[in-house]
Structure 1
């Protein structure tokens, strides 16, 4: 699979009368735009090609689904009124855009050196990130959005799957509801997990649909954690960070894991 072939496949599957396609050779990026609304979405082809090596047609199916849902939302009018239960926090990388394509700032909060908090209005199969235009138009204060989002987050299930590798334990939260990584903001959940951990507790959010808690009990655990995070980070639809965090006394400290030397250092 190469960019030329992938581009042709995506254009064929996403073709509609009201759509146009623009290819940026320098960025190796395909833009799909609704000609009626002027709204569109850019798809970087290299990451899709990388996923295709393992997932084959499933990788393309995922992109097509993502684009279709995103275009369906764009241009539509949304309201926060009577939608309180559908507002959630969303974790993204600090490299994620801070404003819409039209230059409207998203409503965000700082989180860590690697992550930032956005807020979303859940629309069922997809969601819309809340920007300052929507928040102000609806007359919602910043604190009201934060409180409602955190309250709704606490209502989401936190069931985890446990795995053991070389004497270390890893807990995976992967419900695919779009807010798995957001559970890193559920303080009660983190505190409850810390009471189960006997070694050093780490938290990883390599992409939006997974949260990994590590109970690191020996040096090999850091090697495993580094490899695991990189694998999830490379395969995620919305990558966040390949770094992990040490969780201690309610605080998150990003760490660099030197797999060769089996040592971990807090990021300065």
Structure 2
């Protein structure tokens, strides 16, 4: 089958189309004919070799942590799903014609595969962040990177729950943050004063950017309690909680898919590209300025 592969570690340019054996749906797994695959920053970190000190990557490698597609094989001990069903979920090498999934959720009628494939990774991270921080109705949550995939979803879910959100974003993306129901503000020098001019206090802080915002976040919060980052290694030296261990939940994904299908939350898909343009798509993601999810289609 076709797959996006890399034979050596390096920049996005090492990605290319190749031929690899088709995976099989083993026990507890399903196989899908891939219609769409979401690209993520983690894919770039693994491909670059930056994660080799944490775990070894078997070459040739392939990106793609989240896919949407049509079930064509069902492994032993799997119930509640059948060939022909549309699903989305988590995989390890999804940028290919076929992929196997251990956790998945049904795609609601009317939801495009490009939208469905954009949700598993950011949805899991957003739910995890909200559970760890526990913002309550009437509290104020500061979200760094509120126009991004994770930050944007956190912002929408928090606002819907009655939380006041102040979200940092570039000038070009502040209109999007405001549309989510949050109060936008610029990042960079003077952040502490800008936030204090908007709200009397900050009850919790989420950093999705890894852009060196933790010292300002601690100052605004008045300590390290309820300050969480998903992206900044400096957390360990500053005494801030760093969450990077994903806990995929099919139930959470199904709930979020329903919200997206009903138009209650939005996960912007900025670029839809064919598998052959994976290098271009991953370069957008690695640069951090894609403007939304980048999705490949078969």
Q: TM-score, normalised by structure 1?
A: 0.26
Q: TM-score, normalised by structure 2?
A: 0.24
Identify which of structures 1 and 2 has the higher relative contact order when contacts are C-alpha pairs closer than 8 Å and 6+ apart: 2
